[in-house]
Amino acid sequence: MRGLRVPDNIDITKRRPGKTERARDLRRNETEEEYRLWSDLRDRRLNGHKFSRQIPLGPYVVDFVCRDKQMIVEIDGSQHSDSGADVIRTEWLNANGYSVLRFWNHEVLRERRAVLETILAAIEGKIFERDDVLRFYPARRSIEIPE
């Protein structure tokens, strides 16, 4: 898909007007699922990996990000069940070097241990190919072809 990759001279982590306040608002009004998952990810509780929550990245605010591993974790409610906007968002994040792992709200509430194990497996490189069942979408890294 053309136009997804941001030029190298643009920092997608740079604050955008309105995005920081939007992220703060999302943190203040987190869902129960976000609260529960955050309690397991905060303070390096998942094998020492540092996560941040509700972080602006380019035109989006992502639920959770492990910046060192460029891994994004999103929690989706029923409004995301067939969202073309989520596909575009995931494509954009992938094209800009971020892998995306998505979970449904009910998975976080009922299967939190499995959710955490899946996040850890993805971060540690045990899951590295696209998997629609696990809802894992790896970053697309551009490959330089030597002349």
User: Is 36 domain-assigned?
Assistant: yes
pTM above 0.85, yes or no: no
From CA 147, how far away is CA 21, in angstroms rounded? 46
Domain ranges, residue 81: 19-137
Mean pLDDT of 35-46: 96
User: Is 97 domain-assigned?
Assistant: yes
pLDDT at 84: 85
Confidence bin at 142 (pLDDT 50/70/90):
low
Closest-CA residue to 64 (of 36, 87, 85, 91) = 36
Q: How many domains does the chain have?
A: 1
User: Is 147 domain-assigned?
Assistant: no
Note whether 137 and 94 are within 8 A (CB): yes
Whether the predicted pLDDT of 11 surpasses 80: no
From CA 7, how far away is CA 122, in angstroms rounded? 27
Q: Return the top range by mean pLDDT from 3-17, 18-32, 83-97, 100-114.
A: 100-114
- CATH number for the domain harbouring residue 59: 3.40.960.10
Confidence bin at 8 (pLDDT 50/70/90):
low
